[in-house]
Amino acid sequence: MIPEINYWAVAIATVLSMGLGALWYSPALFLDRWATLARIDMTKRGAPVALAMLVSLAVTFLTAWVLAGSVAIAWHFYDGGYLLSALVTAVTLWAGFTAARVITHDVFEGRPSQLTVLTMGFELTTVVIMALVIGLWPPAGTV
């Protein structure tokens, strides 16, 4: 069985996530704190921003697409509300995969725990926003 996916919801979730990233890592919110904790010199030129944004867009779309498919499977399995399935699935996948892996890498790399919390906060906010879009706009014919 191939899970039903609303690709419009995936696209909107991707755009909203990219917008959240632009805000989260902006001077208005956490840019300075993130740069300090990650030991990034903002005066130096790094990798081309366009390449980083394209990679981010591709993996953000992949995340939204996998979440949408996982939500469809969870909804069929648990037979509950689509929005609730989306939120529970998103938080569960975030905790079991994203948060767990970020913590593991950051501990081995000796990153500050505040950076880990900042990263995990962004990732949790991202998947919750994606889940809201996917959960409020289920694929046609499913709900």
Residue 41: band (very low, low, confident or very high) from pLDDT cuts 50, 70, 90? confident
Could you give the dihedral angle defined by the CA atoms of residues 137, 138, 141 and 143, in that order, rounded to the nearest 10 degrees? Answer: -100
Alpha helices by DSSP H, the chain: 7-24, 31-37, 49-78, 82-93, 100-109, 113-136
Question: What is the distance between the alpha carbons of residues 42 and 21, in angstroms, rounded to a whole number?
Answer: 17
Please provide the average confidence, as pLDDT, over all residues in the chain. Answer: 94
> If you average pLDDT over residues 64-85, what whole number do you get?
94
What is the reported pTM?
Answer: 0.93
Question: What is the distance between the alpha carbons of residues 80 and 76, in angstroms, rounded to a whole number?
Answer: 8
